[in-house]
Amino acid sequence: MLSQIIYALPFLAEGFAVTLWVSLLVVVLSLIAGVLMGVGLVYGPFPLRWAVRIFSDTIRGIPILVLIFFVYYGLPAVGLHLESFWAAVFALTLFKTAQVVEYLRGAVGSIPKGQSEAAMAIGLTFRQRLVYVIFPQAFRRFLPPWINGVTDAVKGSALVSLLGITDLMQAINQVIGRTYEAMPLYILGALVYFAVNYALSLASRRLERRFSFIRE
């Protein structure tokens, strides 16, 4: 039993690398898209605000699994052909982007209005106000929940196995298909996911404590 699992380790490690790669892509892409859309939600004109609100509430209202299937099976029907890997990354990025939008809204919303007004009073432009006044303060409120939310990307990435992508989850299932050692392999997989995500949650909690001295 043990020898079979040791034999499978390199294969599992490759799957784990795919899991990390999917998560990393999703986290980076959603951070960019989410911050841009979040700024649109907080400061944008009415139609933009409205569009971002609908986007975020729709995405957060449906299961990630449905989102993944919709993107994977639905896009070719409208003429967009993405490899399963990129379809999965796209779907997970949509899901994470909606989260980032909400983190940003929460963080920026927690900065007292007086800060904005003071910046305006000394003649800073909109971009300067964001870059020098709002974002440096909002950053401390944004970072802890955002890091904690990275675990959602790692956990969500396990669903890409359903599109036939050999991530850690799929690699585990394939090794079980050959060795019939279901329990040890699932536990091994659980421990790997746990190690990654628990480290992220600890980092988030530590940062939160580190930043908690700031009161209005």
Partner 1 sequence: MGYTLNFNLIWRHFDKLWGGLLLSLELAVISIAIGIVIGLVLAVWYVSAGRAVRTIIAGYVEFIRNVPLILLVYLVFYGLPTVVDIAYSAQTSFIATLSLYSGAYLVEVFRSGLEAVPRGQLDAGKAIGLTPWQRLLDVRLPTMLRITLPALSNTFISLFKDTSVASVISVPELTYGAQWINFNTFRIVEVYLVVTAMYLLTGYTLLFALRLVERRFKAAR
SS3 state of residue 174: helix
- Cβ(187)–Cβ(124) below 8 Å: no
43 binds partner 1 (CB under 8 A): no
CA dist., res. 29 & res. 201, Å (int) = 21
Shortest Å, Cβ 67 to partner 1: 8
- The answer to whether the beta carbons of residues 49 and 194 sit under 8 Å apart is no
Q: Is residue 99 near partner 1 by the rule CB under 8 A?
A: no
Least distance to partner 1, CB of residue 97, Å = 17
CA separation (Å) from 196 to 25, 153, 170, 201, 203? 16, 11, 18, 9, 11
- Judged by CB under 8 A, the chain residues 144 through 203 that form the site for partner 1 are 151, 154-159, 161-162, 169, 172-173, 176, 180, 182-183, 186-187, 189-190, 193-194, 197-198, 201
Token pair belonging to 77: 């029907």
Phi/psi of residue 27, nearest 5 degrees: -65, -45
The answer to whether the CB of 200 falls within 8 A of the CB of 148 is yes
Nearer to partner 1, 86 or 135 (CB): 86
When asked if residue 17 is in the footprint of partner 1 (CB under 8 A), the reply is no
Residue 132 is a binding residue for partner 1 (CB under 8 A): no
Q: Which of 137/173 has CB closer to partner 1?
A: 173
Q: Smallest gap, in angstroms, from Cβ of residue 27 to partner 1? A: 16
- Identify the sign of the CA torsion 141, 157, 85, 12: positive
Report, in Å, the least distance between residue 26 CB and partner 1: 14
Rank residues 61 and 123 by Cβ distance to partner 1 and give the closer one: 61
Distance between alpha carbon 7 and the CA centroid of its chain, in Å?
Answer: 33
Contact residues for partner 1, defined by CB under 8 A: 58, 61-66, 69-70, 73-74, 77-79, 151, 154-159, 161-162, 169, 172-173, 176, 180, 182-183, 186-187, 189-190, 193-194, 197-198, 201
